[in-house]
Amino acid sequence: MQRLTGVGVSPGVVSGRAVILIQRAQALRYQIAPARVPRELERLEASRERSRQQLIEIRARVSRRRPEMASLFDAQLLMLDDPMLVPRAADSVRTERVNAEWAVHQVFQEFRAVLDEVADPYLRERTGDVADLVGRLKMNLRQGVAAPRDLLSALDESSVLVADELTPSLAAQVDWTKVRGFATDAGSRTYHTAILARSLDVPAVVGLHNASELVQAGDLVVVDGTAGEVVVDPTDEVLARAVRQAEEHVADGAHSSLGRLAATADGVRIRLDANIEFPEDLAAARYAGAEGIGLYRSEFLLTDATAPVVDEDEQYEIYRRMLEGMAPAQVTIRTFDVDEDQLASRLSRGPLAGGWLVDQERTSRQGLRGLRLSLARPELFQVQIRALLRAAKHGQLRIVFPFVSGVDEVREARRMVGAAATELVGRGDVVPRVPIGVVIEIPAAAYTADLLAREVDFFTIGTNDLIQYCLAVDRADERVSSLYEPLHPAILRVIVMVRRAAARHRIPVSLCGEMASDPALLTLLVGLGLREFSMTPGAIPMAKQVLAEVRSDEMRTLARRVLRLPTAGEIEAELMAAVGRLSLK
């Protein structure tokens, strides 16, 4: 038995099997069931093969321009077959029963430790080559995994999360019915984890310094948020006492906010909707207290490999059930937001077949997605629009177009909506008026927001892509992913610009994306003048509690200070200081 002492920030005692999250390295470590080992090995091998093909393509492009650089990629291709890398990671999956991502991360750490001991400077510098290859393997392991939530969904019941740090945006994606408590290396009573733990009403201990290194995945752990203590491999007596205390603890703090509407401490109403990906998520949204669905990602109908491409009637049934299930609340459905590769992969059957450019004829895959792709494939777009308009009479529907860059696209899309409505009326259908909006997620839309506002009924600010395109950062590229910064001054100023354009034209504007799921960022966004947000359902109870503890006038003052700061680091420091003062109240 081992006792680790930290700072208790949320009272209560829980026990469970440890899941290890190393967020700085973007690695999640958890034990897998024996039956899942073959699937993890398949994922690892698929990642290796994708990495091999990518490196071969990169080598070919580079060798045409810089033949002397091709040898760098020869070395990485050889590393892919080195028994000390992927095969060793596979052995870890088999023997330790850990997930493939962690196995790759662990092998790299061992490899780096060996190279760091080597006296030869040339060999030591090869660490960067290995890191680049490992980053590629990790990136390819993430294919088919939409978000951290998908990894965390694989956890067993009664888990305890042990992390180096736990950001609110990630915590919002955890299923807290499975994860009963958490412990982190970082944190203090005045850090955002204090608000996080109190909002979730789960026992938590922070400031443990090295718990994520000492605790192994699958260890039995007791988290005592009252005493500020974590017990690893507890005795039967300690475990029995923890179980008794857990049964006595009534975990209703987070749930108490479910039935009430969100508002700040000074009474300013805030609307909180839910983002969902599948119709089955509707129950979670209602349970969390969402006022509506702020973003339904309809593209799963095309990209879900387990389901056929759906026709108009099938789409209609899905949309109808969703509108009826959320009635009388509002449901915003985003038209298909896929790129040409995702669409091309489904062209072998159904109404999408034929007429697509082969790979050799494409000059680029960049940018043909969202509304642009829908307009390029009008037969696909019309099927979806007719299904949506038919379903509209069953609830409060809004349609939002993704990846819009200008007024011409919106006018053409609205013309097609009108044509679909006319066709349906000709069939004898009743078609109510449906509000049409756009997602502001690329700079062209943001800088013409005043023009777009004249053409649509509402805006949705899509922060995930907006940050990526404004800062020219590919979130999947680990070499630059650290530059993906929501608090960059440019991002905050763009958000303000869009909000003002919407206000001038008197149309509602909401914000969706990971920014809304982070309680600290949420308070700043309120200060910037936003009043409607859409987020993952699990973040809603936390958001309600945090909002109830802040005053909108104080947040406006904070926002004015923040907008004058020149760097993301200074903005974050100012914001965290404000959050820290809040947690002491």
> Which of the two residues, 391 and 218, has the higher pLDDT score?
391
Catalytic option among 105, 394, 470, 512: 512
Q: What is the 3-state secondary structure (H, E, C) of 217-286?
A: CCCEEEEECCCCEEEECCCHHHHHHHHHHHHHCCCCCCHHHCCCCCECCCCCECEEEEEECCHHHHHHHH
Distance CA 412, CA 404 (A): 11
Does the pLDDT of residue 411 top 90, yes or no? Answer: yes
Superfamily of domain 31-141 in the CATH hierarchy: PtsI, HPr-binding domain (1.10.274.10)
pLDDT band at 309 (very low <50, low <70, confident <90, very high): low
Which of 110-114, 222-226, 274-278 has the highest mean predicted lDDT (pLDDT)? 222-226
Does the pLDDT of residue 113 top 60, yes or no? Answer: yes
Task: State the pTM of this model.
Answer: 0.66
> Which of the two residues, 577 and 355, has the higher pLDDT score?
577
Give me the residue label for tokens 């600290």. Answer: 520
> Residue 278 contacts by C-beta under 8 Å, 6 or more apart in sequence?
300
Among 248-252, 349-353, 526-530, which is the least confidently predicted range? 349-353
pLDDT tens digit sequence for 444-487: 999 999 999 999 999 999 999 999 999 998 766 667 777 889 99
Same fold, 2-28+155-255 and 266-583: no
pLDDT band at 126 (very low <50, low <70, confident <90, very high): low
pLDDT tens digit sequence for 204-215: 999 898 898 899
Compute the C-alpha angle 266/267/272, nearest 5°: 120
Q: What is the pLDDT of residue 249?
A: 58
CATH architecture of the domain formed by 2-28+155-255: 3-Layer(bba) Sandwich (3.50)
**DSSP reduced 3-state for 335:** coil
Of 437, 563, 444, 557, nearest to 509 by C-alpha is 437
Q: What is the pLDDT of residue 66?
A: 61
Does the pLDDT of residue 252 top 50, yes or no? Answer: no
Q: What is the pLDDT of residue 180?
A: 85
Mean pLDDT of the chain: 83
Q: What is the pLDDT of residue 322?
A: 93
> Which of the two residues, 8 and 257, has the higher pLDDT score?
8
Q: What is the pLDDT of residue 362?
A: 42
Residues making up the chain, counted from first to last? 585
Q: What is the pLDDT of residue 331?
A: 98
Q: What is the pLDDT of residue 253?
A: 45
Q: What is the pLDDT of residue 520?
A: 87
Burial class (CB in 10 A: 0-12, 13-18, 19+), 501: buried
Neighbouring C-alpha atoms within 13 Å toward the C-beta of 510: 25
Q: What is the pLDDT of residue 382?
A: 95
Does the pLDDT of residue 339 top 70, yes or no? Answer: yes
pLDDT band at 254 (very low <50, low <70, confident <90, very high): very low
Whole-Å CA distances, 373 to 201, 441, 518: 44, 16, 31
User: What number is the average pLDDT over the span 47-67?
Assistant: 78
Q: Which CATH class is domain 266-583?
A: alpha beta
Catalytic option among 105, 192, 394, 488: 192
pLDDT band at 552 (very low <50, low <70, confident <90, very high): very high
Token digits of residue 278: 């599948």
User: What number is the average pLDDT over the span 484-509?
Assistant: 97
Does the pLDDT of residue 508 top 90, yes or no? Answer: yes
Q: What is the 3-state secondary structure (H, E, C) of 81-92?
A: CCCCCHHHHHHH
Does the pLDDT of residue 255 top 90, yes or no? Answer: no
Q: How many CB atoms lie within 10 A of CB 144?
A: 11
For the chain, domain boundaries: 2-28+155-255, 31-141, 266-583
> Residue 266 contacts by C-beta under 8 Å, 6 or more apart in sequence?
551, 552, 553
Does the pLDDT of residue 152 top 70, yes or no? Answer: no
Does the pLDDT of residue 129 top 90, yes or no? Answer: no
512: annotated active-site residue: yes
pLDDT tens digit sequence for 287-307: 788 999 999 999 878 765 445
> Residue 556 contacts by C-beta under 8 Å, 6 or more apart in sequence?
527, 529
Q: How many CB atoms lie within 10 A of CB 114?
A: 11
User: What number is the average pLDDT over the span 496-523?
Assistant: 94
**What percentage of the chain reaches a pLDDT higher than 70?**
78
pLDDT band at 198 (very low <50, low <70, confident <90, very high): low
pLDDT band at 352 (very low <50, low <70, confident <90, very high): very low
Does the pLDDT of residue 488 top 80, yes or no? Answer: yes
The answer to whether the beta carbons of residues 220 and 239 sit under 8 Å apart is yes
Token digits of residue 515: 């920014």
Q: What is the pLDDT of residue 317?
A: 93
Distance CA 320, CA 297 (A): 15
Does the pLDDT of residue 191 top 80, yes or no? Answer: no
Q: How many CB atoms lie within 10 A of CB 421?
A: 19
> Residue 387 contacts by C-beta under 8 Å, 6 or more apart in sequence?
312, 313, 315, 316, 319
